[in-house]
């Protein structure tokens, strides 16, 4: 499938490739907190939490969320016993909240049955897919399972000069290269290489321990591989929301759906096709038996292939209010609540 033609390339020297990458990893591995412990015998709970967190979160941000989550739930038993609202609150800001709900569901199973001892056992848990099961089983049990994520895809596409690597192709190459003696370290080595050296836009080939084995490097254009994926079109969504209360206590509703299900947020209505914000606001007020007030502003927030534009208004209603600081809010709702504080500061600036 390679897009460039030319003289036949020499076959990849797998033993030399493994030795070079593992030597580099032993000297330059990132000191991440979930990597504590003997190789292949790490704490399964900490590895599991880190892998779920990092599915949609960069490591730099994930460290903060990891520390906060482990402080709240230091053991799987503590996580299993916690109410869902507390789990979502600890996950607040990390996004993709289905991860937290699945982690909570799975923790209840693990607390009853014990940690899985194999790839198949991890794969059977809610929210655990092939990548996560391979990562956890290799890191905690030294099971010979190769991981396949974005970093692995990019590294292997460049090593083989493959412009359009399919998931099946990446998994097959990863399986071929996996070091059977140190599968956990090998998986982390490939991912660390992709995260710190073989980066998407500015690969540092001068620092790469395996550049001598890389076809893309020899061709002089590693950023050509892999070819960019076709991105799904972003759907624009408009909505209105009511902030009944203030930045400390407000009327909140529980969200549903896969993205924000279980979180609390301001009462909100999406605009129908061709509908004006005023019409949607009137509909929202009627639903709540509330009187909409002044517009505080518009917040914009991106979510998986969607961009929301929400007109936030004040409102009055005889409804119970919830302390904002104790509620698990999405970033969208946190932005909306922040508009109130910003408006108060503009009206009553500090002396």
H/E run at residue 247 = none
Which residues touch 191 (CB under 8 Å, ≥6 apart)? 147, 149, 151, 152
Complete DSSP assignment for 255-321: --STTTTT-EE--EEEPPTT--HHHHHHHHHHHHT-EEEEEEEEEEEEETTEEEEEEEEEEE-S---
CB 293, CB 314: distance < 8 Å: yes
> Can you state the percent helix, strand and coil of the chain, rounding each to 5?
50, 15, 40
- Whether 51 is a known active-site residue: answer yes
Helices and strands (H and E) in the chain: how many: 14, 8
Q: What gap in Å lies between CA 146 and CA 158, rounded to an integer?
A: 18
Single out the catalytic residue among 9, 51, 162, 236: 51
Which residues touch 241 (CB under 8 Å, ≥6 apart)? 265, 266, 267, 268, 269, 284, 310, 311, 312, 313, 336
CB 115, CB 77: distance < 8 Å: no
DSSP code at position 109: H
Q: What gap in Å lies between CA 302 and CA 264, rounded to an integer?
A: 18
H/E run at residue 254 = strand 253-254
Show which residues are catalytic: 51
């Amino acid at each position: 499938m390679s897009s460039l033609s030319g003289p036949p390339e020499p076959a990849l020297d797998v033993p030399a490739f493994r030795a070079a990458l593992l030597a580099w990893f032993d000297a330059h591995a990132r000191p991440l907190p979930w990597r504590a412990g003997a190789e292949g015998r790490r704490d399964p709970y900490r590895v599991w939490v880190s892998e779920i967190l990092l599915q949609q979160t960069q490591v730099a941000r994930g460290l903060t969320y990891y520390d906060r989550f482990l402080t709240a739930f230091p053991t799987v038993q503590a996580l299993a016993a916690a109410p869902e609202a507390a789990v979502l609150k600890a996950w607040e800001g990390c996004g993709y909240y289905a991860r937290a709900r699945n982690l909570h569901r799975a923790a209840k199973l693990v607390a009853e049955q014990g940690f899985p001892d194999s790839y198949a056992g991890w794969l059977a848990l809610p929210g655990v897919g092939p990548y996560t099961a391979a990562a956890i089983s290799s890191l905690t049990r030294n099971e010979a399972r190769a991981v396949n994520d974005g970093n692995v895809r990019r590294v292997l596409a460049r090593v083989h000069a493959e412009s359009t690597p399919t998931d099946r192709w990446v998994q097959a190459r990863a399986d071929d290269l996996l070091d059977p003696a140190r599968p956990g370290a090998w998986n982390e080595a490939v991912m660390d290489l992709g995260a710190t050296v073989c980066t998407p836009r500015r690969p540092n080939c001068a620092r790469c321990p395996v550049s001598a084995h890389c076809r893309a490097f020899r061709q002089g254009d590693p950023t050509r591989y892999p070819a960019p994926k076709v991105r799904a079109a972003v759907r624009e969504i408009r909505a209105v929301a009511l902030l009944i209360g203030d930045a400390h206590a407000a009327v909140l509703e529980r969200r549903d759906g896969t993205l924000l299900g279980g979180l609390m947020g301001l009462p909100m209505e999406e605009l129908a096709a061709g509908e004006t914000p005023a019409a949607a606001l009137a509909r929202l007020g009627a639903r709540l038996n509330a009187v909409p007030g002044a517009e505080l502003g518009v917040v914009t927030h991106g979510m998986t292939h969607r961009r929301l534009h929400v007109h936030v208004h004040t409102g009055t209603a005889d409804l119970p209010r919830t302390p904002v600081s104790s509620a698990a809010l999405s970033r969208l709702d946190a932005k909306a609540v922040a508009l109130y504080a910003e408006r108060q500061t503009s009206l009553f600036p500090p002396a």
